[in-house]
């Protein structure tokens, strides 16, 4: 009887357990968990950069693309090793509360307002972005908000506040989805939305919308990278996280960001300065 | 007139887009696009392990529910039926909270691994296996069990005899459970994190690709799921014979 049990149940069960253990063990020191925003992933930047990083260093990067809010939350909870996000105020708070090591600037692009070709709210000739938003509210022009606590969503809420507009009503729609999805929703609804230029360039060809307003300094969109605090989580892959940061802000990494194009357009402008790189290497 | 003309052009556009997308999807599949096939392989691996781990204990529970009487048996059956209708995202969220570093099982560092996805899929498959397994075993003639026992079979042997009797029903339970977990997106997305080359499976890839507007890859993967569903059903039909009473 015991033999039969062993043969029919225990062995396959053990085999299964071992198999699932195997997948646990695959998850060792040469994997880095990076929580980042949908904008760096959907635009294709990471797909272009990370294989080169892997070839250079042997580290395998597991990218988890979510909104900035959720990415920071994962960092705070120690579920990832490093975060690459874009919401300056939230990043500084993350570091000052001791969840992260230090923030390094990596690159920037800017936000643009995209909308219907006919521009029914006439924001193309608005004098600045707050004026453009006021016009949207005045015309009750349909606007799709990310509504997902992402960097772009935080930015948008800040801009409405600056414009002194309470964005509510049937013209203001909160989608609760990633940037790509929201661009699709805006296209289907023939509505306006706020997007980072990188994602927009990646979608421009498939979208009936066009850029309605751009160029205000308020629309500046810097990206920062932060390693999760190893004092909080000693078993986190801090070495790998450091390696990724060093690579991204090194002259070679910055050059690669600079060279990433869609068509003729550069999506991100590298912004780590030489001083930052030097101080990073010094602190090693 | 103007309006209807405009309308018909759009309809043609849509038809054309659907056709080109489907053709592009087929091309992706048959050109052996490695990224696509890797995603398919991950799906089958994760769901395969999940079903293998979940089936033996689930069928044992189903057997106990069918052949033994004990207090709380009815309650257990009701609880299990309730679990059947728990949405996958809720299963995902519950396990996410448990497996997060802040959670009680955080030590294991399982979040965003294939193992986490397997656990989620086990949790989803288990109630289906128990419920369908229970109704299959329950339909068996109780005398088969008694005869086997009287003829001197130990409980385990007798169990195997009963399972053999109920094999069509049990196979249907297995296929239904497999069909649910391989097509499930909510839990896999939350627990796996949709990581390329690692935890990106068919459903999470479809969600991602369609959010990027890359419909061809989404359709290609959808076709794989359709073919799979069809083969599973054909397999079941074959096993069940004519599908008509003898």
Q: What is the ipTM of this complex?
A: 0.71
The per-residue pLDDT of chain A, averaged, comes to: 88
- Confidence class of residue B3 from pLDDT cuts 50, 70 and 90? very low
- Put simply, the answer to whether A64 touches B101 (Cβ < 8 Å) is no
In this prediction, residue A283 carries a pLDDT of 57
Interface membership of B152 toward A (CB under 8 Å):
no
Interface membership of A220 toward B (CB under 8 Å):
no
- Put simply, the answer to whether B49 touches A17 (Cβ < 8 Å) is no
> Pick the residue with more confidence: B240 or B244?
B240
The per-residue pLDDT of chain B, averaged, comes to: 88
In this prediction, residue A177 carries a pLDDT of 86
- Put simply, the answer to whether A78 touches B102 (Cβ < 8 Å) is yes
What residue in B sits closest to A50 (Cα-Cα)? B196
> Pick the residue with more confidence: B246 or A239?
A239
- Confidence class of residue A11 from pLDDT cuts 50, 70 and 90? low
Interface membership of B142 toward A (CB under 8 Å):
no
- Show residues of chain A in contact with B49, CB under 8 Å: 16, 19-20
Looking at mean pLDDT, say which of A14-23, A170-179, A272-281 comes out highest: A170-179
- Give me the residues of A, 165-204, that contact B with CB < 8 A: 177-178, 180-181, 184, 202-203
Triad B109, B112, B116: Cα angle to 5°: 75
- What does the pLDDT look like over B12-36, one tens digit per residue? 777 777 788 888 888 888 888 888 8
- What does the pLDDT look like over A16-34, one tens digit per residue? 554 554 444 444 588 999 9
Mean pLDDT of B206-226: 87
- Give me the residues of B, 67-126, that contact A with CB < 8 A: 100-102, 106, 108-115, 118
- Confidence class of residue B106 from pLDDT cuts 50, 70 and 90? confident
- What does the pLDDT look like over A143-163, one tens digit per residue? 999 998 889 999 999 999 999
What residue in A sits closest to B154 (Cα-Cα)? A1
Q: Least CB-CB distance to A180: which of B106, B109, B212?
A: B212
- Confidence class of residue B7 from pLDDT cuts 50, 70 and 90? very low
- Put simply, the answer to whether B106 touches A206 (Cβ < 8 Å) is no
H, E, C per residue of chain B: CHHHHHHHHHHHHHHHHHHHHHHHHHHHHHCCCHHHHHHHHHHHHHHHHHHHHHHHHHHHHHHHHHHCCCCCHHHHHHHHHHHHCCCHHHHHHHHHHHHCCCCCCHHHCCCCCHHHHHHHHHHHHHHHHHHHHHHHHHCCCHHHHHHHHHCCCCHHHHHHHHHHHCHHHHHHHHHHHHHHHHCCCHHHHHHHCCCCCCCCCHHHHHHHHHHCCCHHHHHHHHHHHHHHHHHHHHHHHHHCCCCCCC
The model's pTM is 0.79
- What does the pLDDT look like over A221-275, one tens digit per residue? 999 999 999 999 998 999 999 999 999 999 999 999 999 998 888 889 998 876 6
What residue in B sits closest to A24 (Cα-Cα)? B115
Q: How far is it, in rounded angstroms, from Cα A188 to Cα A19?
A: 45
- Show residues of chain A in contact with B109, CB under 8 Å: 27, 235
């Amino acid at each position: 009887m015991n033999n039969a049990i062993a043969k029919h149940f225990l062995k396959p069960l053990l085999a299964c357990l071992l198999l699932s253990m195997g997948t646990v063990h695959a998850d060792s020191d040469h994997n880095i968990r990076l929580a980042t925003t949908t904008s760096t992933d959907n635009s294709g930047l990471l797909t272009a950069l990370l294989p080169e990083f892997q070839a250079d260093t042997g580290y395998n990067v597991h990218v988890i693309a979510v909104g900035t809010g959720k990415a920071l939350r994962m960092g705070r909870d120690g579920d990832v090793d490093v975060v690459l996000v874009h919401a300056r105020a939230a990043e500084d708070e993350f570091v000052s509360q001791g969840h992260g090591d230090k923030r390094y600037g990596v690159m920037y692009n800017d936000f643009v307002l995209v909308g219907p070709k006919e521009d029914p709210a006439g924001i193309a000739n608005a004098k600045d972005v707050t004026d453009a938003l006021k016009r949207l509210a005045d015309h009750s022009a349909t606007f799709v908000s990310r509504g997902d606590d992402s960097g772009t969503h935080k930015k948008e809420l800040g801009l409405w506040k600056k414009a002194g507009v309470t964005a509510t009503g049937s013209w203001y729609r909160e989608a609760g989805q990633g940037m790509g999805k929201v661009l699709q929703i805006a296209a289907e609804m023939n509505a306006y939305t706020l997007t980072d230029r990188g994602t927009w360039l990646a979608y421009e060809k498939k979208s009936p919308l066009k850029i309605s307003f751009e160029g205000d300094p308020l629309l500046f969109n810097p990206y920062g990278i932060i390693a999760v605090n190893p004092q909080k989580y000693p078993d986190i892959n801090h070495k790998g996280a450091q390696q990724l940061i060093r690579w991204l802000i090194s002259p070679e990494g910055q050059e690669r960001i600079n060279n990433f194009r869609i068509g003729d357009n550069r999506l991100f402008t590298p912004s780590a300065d030489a001083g930052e790189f030097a101080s990073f290497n010094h602190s090693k | 007139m103007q309006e209807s003309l405009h309308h018909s052009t759009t309809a043609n556009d849509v038809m054309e887009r659907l056709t080109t997308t489907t053709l592009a999807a087929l091309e992706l599949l048959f050109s052996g696009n490695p990224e696509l096939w890797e995603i398919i392989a991950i799906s089958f691996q994760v769901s395969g392990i999940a079903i293998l781990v979940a089936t033996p204990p689930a069928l044992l529970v189903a057997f106990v529910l069918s052949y033994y009487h004990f207090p709380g048996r009815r309650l257990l059956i009701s609880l299990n039926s309730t679990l059947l209708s728990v949405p996958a995202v809720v299963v995902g969220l519950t396990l996410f909270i448990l497996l997060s570093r802040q959670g009680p099982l955080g030590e294991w560092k399982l979040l965003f691994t294939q193992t986490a996805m397997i656990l989620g899929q086990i949790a989803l498959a288990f109630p289906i296996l128990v419920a369908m397994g229970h109704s299959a075993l329950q339909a068996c003639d109780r005398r088969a069990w008694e005869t086997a026992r009287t003829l001197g079979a130990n409980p385990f042997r007798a169990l195997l005899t009963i399972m053999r009797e109920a094999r069509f029903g049990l196979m249907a339970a297995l296929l239904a459970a497999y069909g649910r977990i391989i097509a499930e997106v909510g839990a896999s997305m939350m627990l796996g994190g949709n990581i390329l080359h690692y935890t990106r499976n068919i459903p999470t890839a479809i969600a991602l690709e369609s959010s990027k507007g890359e419909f061809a890859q989404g359709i290609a993967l959808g076709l794989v799921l359709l073919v799979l569903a069809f083969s599973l059903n054909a397999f079941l039909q074959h096993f069940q014979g004519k599908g008509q009473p003898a």
